[in-house]
A and B are shown apart, each in its own frame.
Chain A
Amino acid sequence: MTHAATVHSLWTTAAAAPDKIPSPDIEYGQLSPTLIVLGAAIVGVLIEAFLPRRQRYVAQLFVSVVALAAAFAAVIGLAAGDYGTSKAHVAAMGAIAVDGPALFLQGTILLVALVAVFTFAERRLDPVVHGNRVDSFAAQAAAVPGGDAEKAAVKAGFTTTEVFPLVLFAVGGMLVFPSANDLLTLFVALEVFSLPLYILCALARRHRALSQEAAVKYFLLGAFSSAFLLFGIALLYGYAGTVAYSGIADVVDGQVRNVTPALAGTMGNDALLLIGGAMVLMGLLFKIGAVPFHMWTPDVYQGAPTPVTGFMAAATKVAAFGALLRLLYVVLPGLRWDWRPVMWGVAIVTMLGGAIVAVTQTDVKRLLAYSSIAHAGFILAGVIATTPDGISSVLFYLAAYSFVTLGAFAVVTLVRDAGGEATHLSKWAGLGRRSPLVAAVFAVFLLAFAGIPLTSGFAGKFAVFKAAADGGAGPLVVIGVISSAIAAFFYIRVIVLMFFSEPRTDGPSVAVPSPLTSSAIAIGVAVTLVLGVAPQYFLDLASQAGVFVR
């Protein structure tokens, strides 16, 4: 055989190599909610690039609302097609799970985002500047606060319509986060929803120094925690040799034996599993805002523009709890005797810490921030249950809580004085006499936070605590009820302040919102009352959805 022929045969064998890389098989239809939202976000970027300034606001609002509504319709379509129950499976080459919890949480996130976009688009609350109606976002984020560039931007009537594509990108990441079925997707989704939120935090029109400070704190701590998450992922990869959830779970359960002696030091090494699992949990607990990883919450909630705070408080929590549930129930169930005591401790300090520190707060937004920490603790109690009821009660609680939060922050945007929103509690004194309707609506939200019957908060808390008690976490329920009582004290205190104290002469006025914010608040009240009065349908829905695919 000649030399040339040898080369030739090498070429032919190479061309006909049997182990071709298979082309990935993506189920576009089942991923359509995420794809619609991310596609609309890119359209939003193009609108920013090509449309004249005057037309951008209407175009962006239209694209965002249509995209979120279409994505929600797609989620409903998938759920109606039994993808949440009998046809639940892992799509996109093992990267995304399409199952009940994923679809339930995606639907919740999309509805929350839709309502949040209404509050983002509100332009009636701030006074008209140079003949232009303005929203809560800076005229030009890059301009130095109080500088000439800012004055020129305000005079020219600039607005930051980039917030709409940013929200859509964040929502896209949040949709993937609870359905991520491998650790790499989890990490990428975390960053995709975190990075737009960091920017959104820095965009407030009033109190810009405060807003930028919040953004810098959120960004540095967020990047720090995601580095921990990533190192945890690296250790879990070293432990299992794969980042797929089912693969790691198999190694945890001992179904995979060490194949080669060379891997004896890493594969199946419990130290890697425990440290890696702890670091990944740390990253997720940071996003949830659980004590002791809650330090950023009050500052960021206070400094960020209030519509952003409402969106962040509601949607981030839903997405992060979804990811936490999937991690604990799909990847690490074999390790639950190790993580349950830790999560017990975290849940206890979160419930008590959030409730006790909230009592001392004097700012409405910080108060709601600490209350969100306490609520994270209540939801963790449901997570610890490790029963199917635990999953469904957490899903229900998240849906109920997110609308109460959105509504409460939307009310905060209405109470204003000359400096913008009047968030100091002393200014809320006597609000019930000035504007009974707004005060009454806020009281409904506070009662729901406190868990008073006939509101969604009661139904959610009852479901979560019942699941925790059935799951053998009785002492946790006792502590939960005690911290609910502490929390109820400061919610009621605000109600008393609004209705039973004299209004201040220099007190704030309540701005009359456009139909956008009004409908956002109305949806919040409606969901709160419906889930409180007739929760059964939604509890059934959550319990149907409460099975993870593996």
Chain B
Amino acid sequence: MNPVNYLYLAALLFTIGAAGVVIRRNAIVLFMCVELMLNACNLAFVTFSRLHGNLDGQIIAFFTMVVAAAEVVVGLAIIVTVFRSRHSASVDDASLMKL
């Protein structure tokens, strides 16, 4: 199979994730959409690595995974704190500050 197809898949996944961040309202779902975008990046990296025949892209994919894991730790901590004080994870409720 032509590896370029994986690039189209990566772009598609990235777009789904980005659209999800814009459309959805639950902070956890938003966060999962961001993770989907990061995974789309990984797929693109690995595919380009195959196309170019060097290993840089595969190494970068590992770095991305570690960074994504660190981001989960921080992000979930913040979202859970907010949920505990408001009993809601909706980002529409977070509106104490307006212009």
5 more contacts with CB within 8 A, not counting A220-B31, A266-B51, are A144-B84, A187-B63, A199-B77, A213-B94, A219-B79
Q: Which chain B residues (1-44) contact chain A, with CB distance < 8 Å?
A: 4, 7, 10, 14, 17-18, 21, 27, 30-31, 34, 37-38, 40-41, 44
Interface size class on chain B is: 35 or more
Residues in A whose Cβ lies below 8 Å from that of B21? 220, 224
* Contacting pair A213 B96 (CB below 8 A): yes
* Contacting pair B63 A235 (CB below 8 A): no
Alpha-carbon separation in the docked complex, A184 to B55 (Å): 13
Q: Closest approach, in angstroms, between the C-beta of A477 and any C-beta of chain B?
A: 30
* Contacting pair A223 B44 (CB below 8 A): no
> Among A184, A208, A302, A357, which residue has its beta carbon within 8 angstroms of that of B97?
A302
Q: Which chain B residues (63-80) contact chain A, with CB distance < 8 Å?
A: 63-64, 67, 70-71, 74-75, 77-79
Q: Is the interface of B mostly helix, strand, loop or mixed?
A: helix
Residues in A whose Cβ lies below 8 Å from that of B31? 220, 223
> Among A216, A219, A227, A262, which residue has its beta carbon within 8 angstroms of that of B38?
A227
* Contacting pair B78 A212 (CB below 8 A): yes
Interface 0/1 of A350-363, CB less than 8 Å to B: 00000001001000
* Contacting pair A243 B97 (CB below 8 A): no
* Contacting pair A243 B56 (CB below 8 A): yes
Residues in B whose Cβ lies below 8 Å from that of A238? 7, 44, 47-48, 51-52
Q: A158 contacts the other chain (Cβ, under 8 Å)?
A: no
Which B residue sits closest to A247, measured CB to CB?
B56
Interface 0/1 of A221-262, CB less than 8 Å to B: 001100110110111011001110000000000000000001
Q: A202 contacts the other chain (Cβ, under 8 Å)?
A: yes
Q: A142 contacts the other chain (Cβ, under 8 Å)?
A: yes
Alpha-carbon separation in the docked complex, A214 to B97 (Å): 9
* Contacting pair B94 A217 (CB below 8 A): yes
Residues in A whose Cβ lies below 8 Å from that of B96? 209-210, 213, 303
Alpha-carbon separation in the docked complex, A360 to B99 (Å): 9
* Contacting pair B71 A184 (CB below 8 A): no
**Residue among B41, B54, B91 with the highest chain A CB neighbour number at 10 A:** B41
* Contacting pair A227 B75 (CB below 8 A): no
* Contacting pair B70 A195 (CB below 8 A): yes
* Contacting pair A188 B67 (CB below 8 A): yes
Residues in A whose Cβ lies below 8 Å from that of B27? 216, 220
* Contacting pair A231 B67 (CB below 8 A): no
Residues in A whose Cβ lies below 8 Å from that of B10? 234
**Residue among A184, A302, A360 with the highest chain B CB neighbour number at 10 A:** A184
Residues in A whose Cβ lies below 8 Å from that of B40? 231
Q: Closest approach, in angstroms, between the C-beta of B35 and any C-beta of chain A?
A: 9
Residues in B whose Cβ lies below 8 Å from that of A213? 82, 94, 96-97
Alpha-carbon separation in the docked complex, A263 to B85 (Å): 53
Alpha-carbon separation in the docked complex, A230 to B67 (Å): 11
Residues in A whose Cβ lies below 8 Å from that of B84? 144
* Contacting pair A209 B86 (CB below 8 A): yes
Which A residue sits closest to B75, measured CB to CB?
A219
* Contacting pair B75 A223 (CB below 8 A): yes
Which A residue sits closest to B38, measured CB to CB?
A227
Q: A215 contacts the other chain (Cβ, under 8 Å)?
A: yes
Alpha-carbon separation in the docked complex, A219 to B31 (Å): 9
Total number of residue pairs linking A and B with CB closer than 8 Å: 135
* Contacting pair A184 B63 (CB below 8 A): yes
* Contacting pair B14 A231 (CB below 8 A): yes
A263 with B51, Cβ < 8 A, contacts A208-B85, A217-B94, A235-B44 known: yes
Q: A191 contacts the other chain (Cβ, under 8 Å)?
A: yes
Q: Closest approach, in angstroms, between the C-beta of A21 and any C-beta of chain B?
A: 11
A266 with B97, Cβ < 8 A, contacts A188-B67, A230-B64, A234-B45 known: no
Residues in B whose Cβ lies below 8 Å from that of A202? 78, 81
Residues in B whose Cβ lies below 8 Å from that of A144? 84-85
Alpha-carbon separation in the docked complex, A257 to B21 (Å): 39
Q: A475 contacts the other chain (Cβ, under 8 Å)?
A: no
* Contacting pair A191 B70 (CB below 8 A): yes
**Those 10 A-B pairs whose CB atoms lie nearest each other, nearest first:** A227-B37, A234-B44, A238-B48, A241-B52, A230-B41, A213-B94, A223-B34, A299-B97, A195-B74, A191-B67
Residues in B whose Cβ lies below 8 Å from that of A141? 81
- Sample (6) of A-B pairs whose CB atoms are under 8 Å apart: A212-B82, A216-B94, A217-B94, A220-B21, A224-B34, A234-B57
Residues in A whose Cβ lies below 8 Å from that of B17? 227
Q: Closest approach, in angstroms, between the C-beta of B67 and any C-beta of chain A?
A: 5
> Among B7, B48, B54, B74, which residue has its beta carbon within 8 angstroms of that of A199?
B74
Q: Closest approach, in angstroms, between the C-beta of B38 and any C-beta of chain A?
A: 6
* Contacting pair B34 A266 (CB below 8 A): no
Which A residue sits closest to B41, measured CB to CB?
A230
> Among B56, B77, B85, B99, which residue has its beta carbon within 8 angstroms of that of A242?
B56
* Contacting pair A223 B71 (CB below 8 A): yes
Q: A145 contacts the other chain (Cβ, under 8 Å)?
A: yes
Which A residue sits closest to B49, measured CB to CB?
A237
Q: Closest approach, in angstroms, between the C-beta of B74 and any C-beta of chain A?
A: 5
* Contacting pair A237 B78 (CB below 8 A): no
Alpha-carbon separation in the docked complex, A17 to B56 (Å): 22
Q: Closest approach, in angstroms, between the C-beta of B61 and any C-beta of chain A?
A: 10
Q: Closest approach, in angstroms, between the C-beta of A245 and any C-beta of chain B?
A: 14
Q: A267 contacts the other chain (Cβ, under 8 Å)?
A: yes
Q: Closest approach, in angstroms, between the C-beta of A96 and any C-beta of chain B?
A: 16
Residues in B whose Cβ lies below 8 Å from that of A77? none
Which A residue sits closest to B73, measured CB to CB?
A195
Q: Closest approach, in angstroms, between the C-beta of A333 and any C-beta of chain B?
A: 23
* Contacting pair B48 A234 (CB below 8 A): yes
Q: Closest approach, in angstroms, between the C-beta of B87 and any C-beta of chain A?
A: 10
Which B residue sits closest to A230, measured CB to CB?
B41
